[in-house]
Amino acid sequence: MSILVDENTRLVVQGITGRDGSFHTKRMREYGTKVVAGVTPGKGGEVVEGIPVFNTVREAVEKTGANTSVIFVPYKFAVDALYEAGDAGVELIVCIAEGIPTLDMVKVVRFLSDRGVKLIGPNCPGVISPGKCEVGILPGHIFKPGQIGVISRSGTLTYEIATHIVDAGLGISTCIGVGGDPIIGLKFIDCLELFEEDEQTKGVVLVGEIGGQDEEEAARYYQEHCHKPVVAFIAGLTAPPGKRMGHAGAIISGGAGTAKGKMEAFESVGIRVAKEPAEVGILMKASLK
């Protein structure tokens, strides 16, 4: 099995006629993802890579049975795109767009939660269940099918971690790039719960970074609810306080959110912490024995 996306995912691409949307639509379809529709207001009736384009997400859902949306529109249109997708009946939204104002995302997350719609992102690389489905910008060729779930706040570091997992002789059930903004949809805790329930997943790799309290909350949740082994890596060990490192959420403030504090929180509940990315696969393989 896998979580969130699989062979039954029917994808609608919001912003399909744009540069990024059309490029990644082709990539996702070549990987095997069932891309059934695209949406660009005012361009309904066009065809991109053999895929029909609609004016609205609701029309795309009604005509094609799409159950998942990926958002490639510019940030100034992304909030409206999120509301539209959430109101159209899809079950999952993957928002690649970055730069969305935090206060807007607070409202969007509540809106989607009230409707039972899962959100990955914003400012994320997406989600992949290797060999089944890829939604977003993840490089599918580096992910091999297997039994390790991956949850990551990072972008390109996710790709490196995945490579080390595969090099260790393991594979990946599903990899989720949750995004690095202060306000996101699915968090570490949500993903840990899904992986804990997934029979295929035998262990989880959690890739965190400085800033916020998501890792500390995940450590407490793990102690109370999880039984599968978890290996963690925290990016930003040498980051100076008060400096933003890459993501909007990756900032140490008032002594909270440090890499050292997150590592200690994990270790205190029995989660093994890799000191460098290359150790992740080794530690996970040892944890499964």
- Which residues are catalytic, by number? 247
For residue 88, give both structure tokens: 């159209």
Is 10 in contact with 68 (CB distance < 8 Å)? yes
Q: Which residue has the tokens 């102690």?
A: 223
Is 219 in contact with 188 (CB distance < 8 Å)? no
| Residue 109 CB burial class (10 angstroms; 0-12, 13-18, ≥19) | middle
Residue 172 DSSP class: E
CB atoms within 10 A of CB 268: 12
Report CA torsion sign: 229, 235, 241, 246: negative
For residue 150, give both structure tokens: 């991956």
In sequence order, the β-bridge partners of residue 230 are: 204
Q: Which residue has the tokens 């990946």?
A: 172
For residue 248, give both structure tokens: 């909007």
- Alpha carbon distance 47, 105 (integer Å): 31
Instruction: Tell me the one-letter amino acid at 92.
Output: L
Hey, what's the torsion of the CAs at 246, 70, 157, 252, to 10 degrees? 30
Is 148 in contact with 264 (CB distance < 8 Å)? no
